[in-house]
Structure formats: C-alpha cells, structure tokens
Amino acid sequence: MGQTPAKGRGGLQPHPRTPGSVLVESSSGNLGVALSMIAASKGYQFLCVTDSRCNLASRRLMEALGSQVHTIVEPAAIGGFLRARIDYVRALCASDDRYVWLNQYTNPNSWKAHYRTTAPAIADEFPLLDVLFVGAGTTGTLMGCARYFREWHRRCGSSQ
C-alpha cells in the first residue's frame, strides 16, 4: 500500500512517484479541497474519497481544480462513513500501486500543524477566550488546539 509520511513541518513528503501516480486521501470535504489546490499547483493527480455528507460545493470545487472525487454512499455497518471511506482507500491502494495514500489518520504531524498555526491564530483574534468548540474528525485540530491552549492560555478550558 503506497503511503507517504509528512515532512517534519507537516507538509507533503517527496515520494518516489512513478508516471501516473495518484495521491489519494479520505476527506469529508475541507482537507480534500486543500489537497486539490496543492495537487493542482504541483501538477499531481489527486483522488478524494468522500461520502454523501460532503457538500456539493466542496465536491464541485475539487473537481474544478482537476481532482477526481469518489463518493461513498453507504456507511459501513461498524464505523459508518469514515470506516467505509478508509476501507475503500485501503482496497484501492492494495489493488494498484499507482495510488499513494497520504493517510491523515496516522500522521503524527496533524495536531502539530494546528498547534503551530490554527491555535495561535485563534488566540490572537480572541485573547480573552474562555471556551473553544472544535469539531472532531481525525481530531488533529482538536488535539493541536487543546494542547496549545492548555500550555499557553490556561484560562481557556479544555474538555476532550
């Protein structure tokens, strides 16, 4: 299964790509859009595996940027849409070496990127913040913000 770890700064690691390689990632929308922009700017092929809960505007934007979008329409019996997306990506990568899974779910730099960028930006904008609500997908945003605010802004409570 093709996987590529992130650089220490949380970016895309150069990968021994062959002609026709396709980056692939599971996303409910936002990451897929971001990766579509990066892939377009670097001339990479990208396949976003999303599900029927992804909004139409995000899917259309990914396609407009040149990405392929595969939409999962049936959730897995255990694990729902996320499990179904991951299972699809795993099967795809196992069946064809051209697919390179970026795998946000095992990337240890995910939370660090939000610790270094997202959380400080929130703290700068809202210096008297008491509570921060963060949606939890892969939990990179949640963990990065929670660790940052616990360390630097103790007045803001964290409940995980």
Helix, strand, coil distribution of the chain in percent, nearest 5: 45, 15, 40
Q: What does the buried/exposed string (b/e) look like for 46-71 if buried means 16 or more CB atoms within 10 Å of the residue's CB?
A: bbbbbbeebeeebbebbeebebebee
pLDDT at 11 over 80: no
pLDDT score for 105:
85
pLDDT at 3 over 50: no
pLDDT score for 16:
52
Q: Which residue has the higher pLDDT, 19 or 83?
A: 83
Q: Is 8 helix (H, G, I), strand (E, B) or coil?
A: coil
Closest CA to 157 of 134, 124, 125, 136: 134
Domains and CATH numbers, the chain: 2-106 (3.40.50.1100), 110-152 (no CATH)
Q: pLDDT tens digits, residue range 22-81?
A: 999 999 888 899 999 999 999 999 999 999 999 999 999 999 999 999 999 999 999 999
pLDDT score for 82:
92
CA distance 24 to 44: 11
Handedness of CA 74, 28, 8, 45 (dihedral sign): positive
Cβ atoms of 79 and 110 within 8 Å: the answer is no
**Taking CA 45 as the corner, what is the angle to CA 105 and CA 51, rounded to the nearest 5 degrees?**
50
Output phi, psi for 16, to 5 deg: -70, 75
Cβ atoms of 2 and 27 within 8 Å: the answer is no
Q: What pTM was estimated for this model as a whole?
A: 0.75
Closest CA to 89 of 74, 110, 73, 103: 103
Weakest-pLDDT range from 4-18, 43-57, 94-108, 136-150:
4-18
Q: pLDDT tens digits, residue range 72-111?
A: 999 999 999 999 999 999 999 999 999 999 998 888 888 8
Cβ atoms of 29 and 55 within 8 Å: the answer is yes
